[in-house]
Each structure stands twice: as C-alpha cells, then as structure tokens.
Amino acid sequence: MRFSSSLLFISKKQLLSFVFYSLCLLGTLPIIGQTTYTSFPKDQQLYQRDISSNYASIPVNGTIAQYTGYTKLSLKVYKESNVVFDQSRNLYYSGGRSSFSFSVRIPAELSNYRFELYGDQNGTKTLLKSANRVVVGDIILINGQSNALAYAAAKPADFDDFARTYEGGWKLMQYSFPGQWGAHLAKTIIQNKRIPVAIFNQAEGGKFISYFLRNNSNPNTGNYGTLKRRLEDGGFNNKVASIIWFQGETDGWETSISEYKNSFKQLHQAWKQDYNPRKTYIYQIRFGSCSHVKPYPMEAQRQLAEELYDVGIMSTNNADHDGCHFPFEGGYQPLAKRLYELINRDVYGVSKSNVEAPNISKATLTSSREIRLEFDNTSSLSFSGNPWSEFTLEGSSARVTSGRVVGNELRLTLSSAVSSLDGVSYLAHIGSARNWVYNSNSVGILSFYDFPVGQGSTSVDPPDDPTPTPTPTPTNCGDVTVGIGASSITLNGLNAPIVTVQVFRPDWTTAFSCNGDCNGTTKTVSNLAVGKYFVRVQLLSANWQLICKVEDFYTVDGSGSTTPPEEEPPSSGNSCDNISISTNSSGVVVSGLDQATVGSLLVLSEDWSISYYNCWGDACGSGNITVPVGRGSYRVIAKHYNASYQEACTKERIITVGNLTEETDRRNRVASSAVETTFKVFPTVAVNQIQVQLPKATNYIKIFSQQGQLIQTVNVKNWQAKQSIQLDSTAQGMYFLNASFVDGTNETSKFFIQ
C-alpha cells in the first residue's frame, strides 16, 4: 500500500508539471522571464542617425527560454504598410536559454517604422513584441537658464508628427517642454532637411553654471544626471547631433571670465564623454539681461568659441528683448532660424557664407580720434539706427560719437583726442531699440569686453568741422508732407535740427528708420510692396526736445494714389476677414475664430506687459468669445492656422473698453486730493542716468521705447521724492517713463538718451 501511494503521489506531481508546461507552450499562461530583451525599440522612439551615412542600425537582441518551445524567431519591419525587413534566426539552447540578435539599418527620413518579433513553433508564429512609429533622425540637447527653457510651450505651427522627445516614454515634442526657440529649430530642420528631430530640454531658470556640472562621483544626480537618465531610459545609443547652451545671466553678478570658462570646459568635456555631440553651440547672453551687472560671462562665451574647435557661438544681438527674455516674433523665432543656418553648415554640410556671428579680430587706433575694428566671419557689415554710443573705451574718458561701415570694418570717431587706449568694448543693449550692427543675414555682431587696442600708423587728424549754419527751428509740423508713389513713400519738410523717421510694414517690421540724422528737405523710401504702412516723423530741437510729430497709416497700392488711408484696412481676401473684434459692457468680444481649422486668440495690455486671455484650437470654443476686462486699451491678436498648424493669417487691433474719460476724471479727483508734488523726469536729455521725482508712494516704473517695447521695469515699492535710474546700456533715442502709483493712478513722461 505504501508503494502504491508513493507512485500515486509522484504521478500527480508529474501530471501537474506536464499540464503547466503544455499550457505555456500553447501561450495560454504568461511565463515570467521567458524572454529577456537587451535591446528593442520603444513606441515613437527616435534613434540618432550616423551623420556620415544618414542611417542608424537598430538592434533587437536578448535571450529566450527553452520551455517556450520556439525553434526560431522572426523579425519583420514595416515602413508604413510595406515590409522592408523580414529575417529569421534559429534558436540554439544551452542551459535552458538561447540568445538572439538582429540588426536593422533604417534611414533618417520622414517615415514611421513598425517592428514585430515573432516566435516560431513548427511553423506556427506568435507575436511576442512590437514597436510602432519608430524613426531615425537627430537628437538635440538644450540646457541652461530661462532663455533656454524659453517659456516651455511651443507654437502650434511648430508641432510636427516627426518632432519627438522622451519624458517617461517617447512622445510628440509638444507634450514635453522643448522651449519656443527649441521647437521652432526642430520644425525648421524637419521642413528643410526632411528628417525627424528629438529635443531634450533640461533647462532651469536662475541657476549658476556650477549647478549644471556633472557630479563625477555620482553622475546620475543633479540636473546633469536627470538629463542623462532621460536619455538612457529612452534607449540612447551614446551619440547626439548637437548640444545648445543658453546660460550666464545669473553668473553675471559675480563670476569672473576665467571662472566661467573653466566651468564650461568641465561641462563640455563631460558632454563629449557621455553624448559625443557633433557640435556644441553657445547662445551669447545679452549684457545686462535680467539686470546682471558684469559683462564677464558674455566675454567668456566669446572666448570659449575661439578656443574650443568644436564649439560654435550665436549672437543674440539684433533681436527683440524685454529686458530679460525674448518674445517669439522678433526674438526667439529669428534666433532659432539663425542658429539653424549655422547647424546647416556644421552638421548638415551645406556651404553658406555669413551664417556665423561676426566676431572682432583686431582693434587699431588709426589716429587720435579714430579706432578701426575688424571682424571675422563676415564679408560686409551693415547698421541700423545709432549703435555707436554702445561702443565704450576702456581707460579713457573719451566717448564714441559716431561711426561708419567700411566692408567688414567699423570706423569709430572719438569725442576727444587720445594717445592710447587700454581696450574697447561693445556691450550692446537690453530691450528692443533698433540700434544694431549686423551681417548680410541679419546676424548681430558678438558683444565683447575690453578687447585690446593696438597702435596704427601715425596719421594727421582731420581739422574740426567748421561751425555749421544753424538750422531754423520750426514751431509745428505744418511743412511735413507725405507723398505716395506706386512703390514708395516720400517725406518732405524734414527741416528741423534733429529729425527721426520710422516706416513700418503691414507686419510691423521696419521698412526704414533713421534716428536723429534725417534732417533735410526730402526723404524717399523706395521698393515698397503693396500694403498699408505706418509712418512716424518727429521733429526735435538741437537739444532733443520734441517739437511735433506726424503719425499715420498710408497705403501703397501700386497706382501712386494719394487717397487718404481708411480707418480700417481694406479686405485682404484671406480668412481673417471673418474675424470680428469689438467690445460690450463685459469686455472684449471676438468672433470668427471657428471659421479656421485651428484658431488662436491673445488679449494683452496695450504695452504687451500683461496677458489677460490666451487660447488656441478647441479651447477657443465655437462661438463668440467674451474676455471680461476693465476700462482701458487692449491689444487683441487673433490668428487662423491650417490643418498642419501653419499660420494662415493674423488680425491685430488696439481696442478701448469703457469710458476712459470717466476713468480719467476719477484719477484726476484722486490725484487732486494727494500731496501737491510734481512728477518730473530730468534731465530730459540724458547720457547714462535720469532722476525721477515722484509725488507719492509708487509701485513700479516702466520705461518704453517709442515703438512701445518694454525696455526696463524698476521695482520702486513705496519710493518717494527723488530717485536715480541707471541707463548705461540703453541706446540713443526717445523713451517714455510710466510711473504706477499705489493709489491706482499713473503718469507718463518722455526723455531722450544721447
């Protein structure tokens, strides 16, 4: 009986094992560890291409358990719906497991690939693992401070099916944080090079360069480690196309040139070891941006690009700027396009001139009153406005009073004779004043600090100009006339001591400008396309006091008609003609966005400083949109996009809500009950600082250019009496200072910088 019972017990155990084993072979029970994958693509993964061949070899390998019963494995790869790879591997088991390995060579192109791995048991195939929408392209890393983060959200027009990133899983780029210029750079590469792009942005605002360094004892910690883990988790294969660095404003308070360079070289060496980039790029920061006071990081960046062969640099000059960051249009967008042209040459091998930022190479004192500056990386230079005061002399009280361009050289005239100079600096300016020096592709020259000045051959100083005949000072703008030609605008009566002229195209880019040197009887702006232009003329006295101004819209229609401009521009025939912008007792009312495939709406304060409403796509709804705002003037921007998120048209208006006369009366009543002290800005013509006399407790002061761009915000909470504001980096021209008082009132005054 005991023998029989023992046999029965063994038989049951064997039977259970056999049943379990059989079910596993049939695939009806999951088997933990039956297949281990060393490498297999993830859904939506982007593999870095080999730049020399434009292909990537994608590995599929691992081990599989013998009890699965598979005798071979097959890998199929589809390009869209077509099979482009179909191979099988016999399995040879040892110790109960067999290894397997495939390698698939995929080109970088705008196509999605699907991977399917099958187990084969006596001709019966079972799908073991798959990956969808796999692509090959370029990986770009972005790091730095807030201008690298760049407001995080991409513009809808920059969304693309082939723009990817990894954030807990591979996904479309817009579901991560590419940054505005990062997203635009990716879309530009996708459109022009026809390859996918992945953006990994690990920027953090307000951090010193030391914060981003690799901890060599524990490389997976800190900011550096977070980016490294993201790449590794995404299946990174130890190579990227490029790394872009935009940082330094925080270091501008205390970090020396040598300290910044040493830190960056440590970071650069770590990048080369961990990511092997084809090229690294630095965006040179704008001096004074975010209120930093020392130019050392800016100069360090320029020197780094000279000393490190695989590091390029892009200037941020000749771009709009709000004092700390950049708007998209006029700022991040053109900066992305300029960097693309440099990457196009370095990474994609397209030969093109004038894509680098012009860099100073030599400074010579050619006479006691002139310096010659020579620039590399450019065949010629141009300038706009009056940038000359932004060049400063080190070791001398003399100033730069004017300048001219000769090919790739600048000739700067000094205010007084000097025998030698310690150095020359170009610190440019924060804000959006149009005073720039740039190359033929609008790339601004690099800023520099204390560049050594050599001694040139001795030359005789030209005699001082004879005292000019005084220009009669007009009392009004009655003699100023605007004539319209078939493709031109002609201005007459510009006979004041100082005259400024600005002509803006329909998209508010500058068609023509001159600041202070437009005096004469006639000025013609030629080669204008058909459209509605805004013309601003200012007549000023010899000490820059405003006499009068002319501001109005004029239509160039190709016929030379002098018909006065309409209050509203005529219908352009595009889809934005259906957009209506109006007001009611509740605020701003907008309709017609639902006529587009994708619509967007932005309601801002008139000076762009406050956003009251922002929507795009489905978030904008299907009917009228009412944005509740109080009395005041608002900037309303409505846009239509097509199905591929390309901008189709824009409608922008400044609109007034409520009875401003009533509001003004209220403010006057409040002001009259306050202490009778005069609000005053002096001197009205300043060099590097102004004094502000405030009549009462104040929240803040804002300084605007005459184009309405915010140049500087000063927090003056509870300031009273007389205060000073430094303007060392502000370009010549006219500015408006607006003081916002604690009692809810505000006042504005204008001043000039020479």
103-130 burial: b if 16+ Cβ within 10 Å, else e: ebebebbebbbbbbbbbbeeeebeebbe
CA pair distance 718, 699, nearest whole angstrom = 6
User: Residue 246: which of 198, 276, 280, 199 has the closest Cα?
Assistant: 280
Q: Is 433 or 85 the better-scoring residue by pLDDT?
A: 85
CATH class entry, domain 135-346: alpha beta
pLDDT of 373-392, one tens digit each? 999 999 899 999 999 999 99
- For range 518-541, the mean pLDDT: 81
pLDDT tens figures, 345-362: 999 999 888 999 999 999
- Poorest-confidence range of 141-145, 562-566, 625-629, 748-752? 562-566
Taking only the tens place, the pLDDT of each residue in 462-504 is 444 444 444 455 666 778 888 898 899 998 888 888 787 878 7
Fold for the domain defined by 481-556: Immunoglobulin-like (2.60.40)
Q: What are phi and psi of 401, to 5 degrees?
A: -100, -25
pLDDT for res 608: 53
Of 700 and 307, more confident? 307
Two tokens at 507? Answer: 């998209």
Class of domain 359-455: mainly beta
**Tokens 């042209």, residue located:** 341
Class of domain 575-658: mainly beta
Q: What is the pTM of this model?
A: 0.61
Phi first, then psi, for residue 634 (nearest 5°) are -130, 150
- β-bridge mates for residue 119, sequence order: 73, 126
The Cα–Cα gap between 5 and 11 comes to 10
Give the integer Cα–Cα distance in Å for 722 and 316.
Answer: 35
Highest averaged pLDDT of the listed ranges 5-14, 273-282, 730-739: 273-282
CA distance 730 to 295: 15
Max mean pLDDT among 285-299, 594-608, 638-652 falls in: 285-299
Tens of pLDDT, residue by residue over 29-69, are 334 458 999 999 999 999 999 999 999 999 999 999 999 99
* Class of domain 35-132 (CATH, top level): mainly beta
CA pair distance 178, 423, nearest whole angstrom: 40
Give the number of other Cβ atoms within 10 Å of residue 682's Cβ: 13
pLDDT in tens, 247-283: 999 999 999 999 999 999 999 999 999 999 999 999 9
The one-letter amino acid code at 226 reads T
- From the list 751, 329, 381, 707, the residue with the least C-alpha distance to 513 is 707
Domain ranges of the chain: 1-30, 35-132, 135-346, 359-455, 481-556, 575-658, 675-753
Please tell me the predicted confidence (pLDDT) of residue 152: 64
Rounded Cα–Cα distance for residues 544 and 542 (Å): 6
Tokens of 451: 């560049």
Over residues 566-594, mean pLDDT: 70
Interstrand relation of 359-367 and 454-455 (parallel, antiparallel or unpaired)? parallel
Q: Which two tokens stand for residue 680?
A: 């005053």
Least confident of 251-265, 322-336, 414-428, 507-521: 507-521
Whole-number average pLDDT of the chain: 82
CATH fold match for the domains 135-346 and 481-556: no
CATH number of 675-753: 2.60.40.3080
Q: What is the DSSP string of 575-627?
A: GGGG-EEEEETTEEEEE-GGGSSEEEEEEEETTS--EEEEEEGGGG-SS-EEE
Percent of the chain past pLDDT 70, that is, above it, reads 80
- What residues contact 320, with CB distance under 8 A and at least 6 apart? 326, 327, 329, 330, 331, 432, 709
Number of H helices, E strands in the chain: 8, 44
Q: What does the pLDDT read at residue 678?
A: 64
Winning range, highest mean pLDDT, from 11-15, 410-414, 586-590, 647-651: 410-414
- Tokens 């459109």 sit at which residue? 191
| Sequence letter at residue 296 | Y
Amino acid (1-letter code) at residue 219: P
